[in-house]
Amino acid sequence: MVARWSEEELEKYYSKVGDIDLSWLSKPTYHQFRWKSQKGPWITAGRKISSGDKLIQDFRGCMPTDVFVSTSSWLNPVNLPRLKDSKRPSPILLDHLVVFDIDMRPFCRKRLEQARLATLETRDWLLENTELEIQHITFSGSKGFHIIARDPDRSLFAEPNPVKREEGVRRHRKELLKRVLEAGHPVDPVVTADTRRIIRVPGTLHGSTGWQCTIMRDGWISQPVSEWIGLVPRHPSAVNMPKRLPLSFPSIRWPKYDIFQRRERAGQGPDYTSIEVSSHVTGTRDRSAIVAWLPRKWGDVREAVENASEVFDSMDIGPVAYLHDDERTLAIIPRAIPRDFLLGQLSGTGLGQFEHDLRNFEHAWIRVSGRMSHGEWVGHVKPITVSGYEASERCAHPWSAPHLELCTRLGLPIRVDDRDVSGRTEASMRVVVRN
């Protein structure tokens, strides 16, 4: 359930909007603006943006599906160096909005109502327990809300050293975030303390739903979702918000096969030859992608994908390339994840064999081809789909170069953003004979 856009639809929408209200930013020219284009790559504004009209002018020629702005304001937000870039002068941090992100998946009214209640409780706690000034609450256009606050304490920004200043702000925000989490509020554990974070711009469309990211009117957050959701602007092609959402995968041609044939094959045990790939991200010390055949107990291909999607979405990693060999389902997540961190995430997921190999051998060898037996190939690995791009937005890990290439060669190229890419393009592969 994802909105699909054409360049013409997006251009028509933003031409009709005419202007995007940026008055909630004290000085828009100090903020960095970025957007995802219809054609795939991320685009960063190459000039200072002074108004919503100027922002829309920058869209022309490459219309955005999603538009974001930095939570921090900088003396020069154009060509902002990365946090770990030591070759360029450190940017001068002028201010930092304190943002709390609350999402409840999946996209449906029931979960959005739960997110509303959590947001209301978080806001009230912040007002009672901190000196923050709540500026407004934004409906993201999808599954949750952003609490936007300002910190009246300016002492952190008196530090003359730009590196120490930013470090001090991050440290202070981490301490605040810890208090909020310990109080039991389900806020995103990354957004608040990240001085390089970008958030969705109110007045722009959410690319996955077609609903507009909207600053909520006074009193909305205290009212049930049903009372105001009909007042939120949305594109005519926006997806409907169901009361509750069962997992579904439209437009996918699912493989059909005889369960008895599957069982018969499973009982056969002749030697076969196949090609295997390592989960290790070549060129890194301890990073691994997820490459795993899903457990048989997860059901047929459709059921396995549905179960896997829930698991991987809860881990905030993606996207996932799904393939099948008529019997089982193969999942590939081309992210370069530190091995110890990944092992902690895998516990209890049901991917026992992959976890076992990773823990004992520091990587796993996974079959990615059919099987050749008696001179004939059977069980060719065929692509199904790529899903989980929403989880990809929340994923903090770099891409795995070898496994991106693997997905492409298997017929499922991955649409990547501008996050770092780790490793060498060539994956570790081998030809093996197994029984």
pLDDT averages per 10-residue partition of the chain, 435 residues: 77 88 96 85 91 92 92 94 83 97 86 95 97 98 96 96 96 95 89 93 94 96 96 93 60 46 47 90 94 92 87 88 92 94 87 92 93 80 87 86 91 83 90 84
User: 244 in helix, strand or coil?
Assistant: coil
Distance CA 322, CA 308 (A): 10
Question: Which of 33, 85, 7, 40 lies closest to 417, judged by CA?
Answer: 40
Q: Which two tokens stand for residue 173?
A: 């925000």
Question: Token pair 């109110």 is at which residue?
Answer: 202
268 contact partners, CB below 8 Å, separation of at least 6: none
Backbone angles phi, psi at 331, to 5 degrees: -115, 135
52-59 and 7-17 helices, crossing angle to 10° = 160
- 245-251 — which CB contacts under 8 Å span 24+ positions? 245/1, 245/106, 245/107, 245/108, 245/111, 247/106, 247/306, 247/309, 247/310, 248/1, 249/302, 249/305, 249/306, 249/385, 249/387, 250/1
pLDDT of residue 270: 64
- The pLDDT score that the predictor gives to residue 2 is 59
Q: What does R_g of the chain's alpha carbons equal in angstroms? A: 24
* Lookup result for tokens 């959590």: 118
CATH superfamily, with its number, for domain 7-231:
DNA primase, PRIM domain (3.90.920.10)
Provide the angle, in degrees to the nearest 10, between the axes of the packed helices 109-129 and 162-182: 110
Query: Can you tell me the distance from the alpha carbon of 337 to that of 100, in angstroms, rounded to the nearest whole number?
Result: 25
Residue 188, token pair as written in the block: 């995103």
pTM: 0.61
- Per-residue HEC secondary structure of 163-197 comes to HHHHHHHHHHHHHHHHHHHHCCCCCCCCCCCCCCC
Query: Do 404 and 250 meet the contact criterion of CB atoms below 8 Å apart?
Result: no
Domain boundaries, the chain: 7-231, 259-434
What pLDDT shows up at residue 3? 66
Name the phi and psi angles at 141, rounded to 5.
95, 0
Per-residue pLDDT at 250: 41
- 294: tokens are 């899903």
CA-CA distance, 315 to 349, in Å (whole number)? 10
* DSSP bridge pairs for 68: 34, 200
Contact call for residues 56 and 64 (beta carbons, < 8 A): no
Residues 6 or more apart whose CB falls under 8 angstroms from that of 388 comprise: 309, 312, 313, 317, 318, 319, 320, 333
The tokens for 82 are: 């990365």
Q: At what angle do helices 352-361 and 339-346 cross, to 10 degrees?
A: 150
Distance CA 47, CA 50 (A): 9
- The pLDDT of residue 61: 77
- Residue corresponding to tokens 């979960």: 111
pLDDT in tens, 118-138: 999 999 999 999 999 999 999
